[in-house]
Amino acid sequence: MLNQFLFKRIDNAQLIVFRIFYGLLVCAECFGAILTGWVRKTLVEPKFTFSFIGFEWLQPLPGNGMYIYFFIMGLCGVLITLGYKYRYSALTFAFLWAGVYLMQKTSYNNHYYLLMLLAFIMAFLPANRSYSMDVKYNPTIEKDSMFNYVRWLIILQLFIVYTYASLAKIYGDWLDFSIIEILMANKKEYFLVGEFLQQRWVHQCIAIFGILFDLLIIPVLLFKPTRKVAFAFAIFFHLFNSFVFRIGIFPYLSLAFCVFFFDPQTIRNLFLRKKKISITQNDKKPQHHKWILGVLGIYFLIQLALPLRHYFIKDNVLWTEEGHRLSWRMMLRSRVGSIRVFVEDKATGKREQVKLDDYLTKKQKRKVACYPDFTWQFAQHLKKESAKEGKEVGVYVINKVRVNKAKYREFIDPTIDLANVPWKHFSHHDWILPAKEE
């Protein structure tokens, strides 16, 4: 029964049109990152780059290397749009984007993570079988159909993203609208709408609509009688996010995903201008279909499990940050902190305060002050720099952190040498002080 559903043939218009949108958005993301100065600020100017722990070997290229890197990714977007050498261009972009995602997390957001997942998914989908340069040069590969699992792979991924995003919002600071007030506070100077965004009733509407939209958008898009209304709400929601939060291509990528929810013939009539096609069904499954099911099963088990891992780690994820990333926990908290970092020479016992400006950009300093993995990584960096001078050192910090509107509290145990404690990916670090008094 499941095999019949997943491996029946359907019109591939949705995938073909999405490939074109996806390629154009990749171009916009990569070329835009160069033109807006994002590449310069994030990957060129910093003296030290915070990678994901375990990927320290991934470092920005020297000189103009990162500009070339992003230019190549933008060209991959052009090739994806045209469907030229699609498998190679899509896979090249996937690996390059994964590289830039993992080599820096100072500008982390969930949208970059989603784009990384999507990039690898798209690289293995038959998105070049129609309306592509590949078909022009090799007509034998042309097809107007695809297996049904292709469409549902995208839909299930979106369902996981939106559902976890909705459930994560059901907590105190979202339900009392205080986090919305914080998020809107720095939008006061926006032209025309700045004062409007400071209104209490607007915060209430944003909070309630945010939960309901994320929870319901996939089901109501799937249900034909509510599809058009849901799409209208999606347009409003994502354009609002684009204007207010300035989050790059993500709102437009989210709107592009909507093609998978509309009837394929509707998509053809709107974008491809091709007559209705006829699809012949047969019982022939794709080669290695068992492997396809196995790989997808493992992938989605991981996607379902990762956002739950913080429940198995001691203390509150909003305080510790342990288990926050890769979990679709979007726009849930505002963290600010103050920090003093000290290096102690183990041979002499002499302790000196580190001048953070000598090592970090302003944005990096804000991260080091209140995110434990950044603080730990900075301690490791100081340890390595001292080792080059033949010194063995310990690194200690004194810092306080405030999450949302809570009071400032001591965050990291000042007696712990952060340079000489291991990092644990899936368990609690005892040097993070508890969120509440015991």
In the prediction, which pLDDT does 438 show? 40
Q: Which residues of 329-358 are buried (b: 16+ CB within 10 A; e: fewer)?
A: bbbbbbbebebebbbbeeeeeeeeebebee
In DSSP terms, 394 is beta-bridged to 344
- CA torsion sign for 327, 331, 337, 342 is positive
Measured between alpha carbons, how far is 214 from 218 in angstroms, rounded to an integer?
A: 8
Which residue type, as a one-letter code, is found at position 14? Q
Measured between alpha carbons, how far is 265 from 272 in angstroms, rounded to an integer?
A: 9
- CA torsion sign for 193, 198, 200, 205 is positive
In DSSP terms, 209 is beta-bridged to none
In DSSP terms, 399 is beta-bridged to 339
Contact indicator for 221, 214 with CB cutoff of 8 Å? no
- Residues contacting residue 119 through CB under 8 Å, at least 6 positions apart: 90, 93, 94, 97, 98
DSSP-assigned states of every residue in 159-198: HHHHHHHHHHT-SHHHHTSHHHHHHHHTTTTSTTTTTGGG
In the prediction, which pLDDT does 437 show? 52
Measured between alpha carbons, how far is 6 from 152 in angstroms, rounded to an integer?
A: 8
- Residues contacting residue 288 through CB under 8 Å, at least 6 positions apart: none
Nearest to 397 by CA among 382, 374, 380, 417: 417
DSSP code, position 381: H
Distance set, CA 357 to CA 294, 364, 368, 380, 390 (Å)? 50, 10, 12, 17, 23
In the prediction, which pLDDT does 387 show? 95
Which own/partner pairs from 384-393 qualify as long-range (CB within 8 Å, at least 24 positions apart)? 386/343, 386/345, 391/345, 391/346, 391/347, 392/345, 392/346, 392/347, 393/343, 393/344, 393/345, 393/346, 393/419
Distance in angstroms between the alpha carbons of the first and the last residue of the chain: 54
Strand order in the sheet with 335-345: 351-353, 335-345, 393-403, 409-410
Strands 351-353 and 335-345: antiparallel
Please identify which residue in the block is written with the tokens 């080669």: 287
Nearest to 150 by CA among 348, 345, 12, 328: 12
pTM to 2 decimal places: 0.95
Can you give the residue ranges of every domain in the chain? Answer: 330-420
3-state DSSP assignment of residue 349: coil
Angle CA 329–334–339, to nearest 5:
120
Contact indicator for 160, 328 with CB cutoff of 8 Å? yes
> Tens place of pLDDT for every residue, the chain, 438 residues?
788 899 999 999 999 999 999 999 999 999 999 999 999 999 999 998 999 999 999 999 999 999 999 999 999 999 999 999 999 999 999 999 999 999 999 998 899 999 999 999 999 999 999 999 999 999 999 999 999 999 999 999 999 999 999 999 999 999 999 999 999 999 999 988 999 999 999 999 999 999 999 999 999 999 999 999 999 999 999 999 999 998 899 999 999 999 999 999 999 999 987 677 878 777 677 778 889 999 999 999 999 999 999 999 999 999 999 999 999 999 999 999 999 999 999 999 999 999 999 999 999 999 999 999 999 999 999 999 999 999 999 999 999 999 999 999 999 999 999 999 999 999 999 999 998 754
H helix or E strand, kind and range, residue 430: none
- Residues contacting residue 372 through CB under 8 Å, at least 6 positions apart: 320, 321, 322, 411, 412, 429, 432
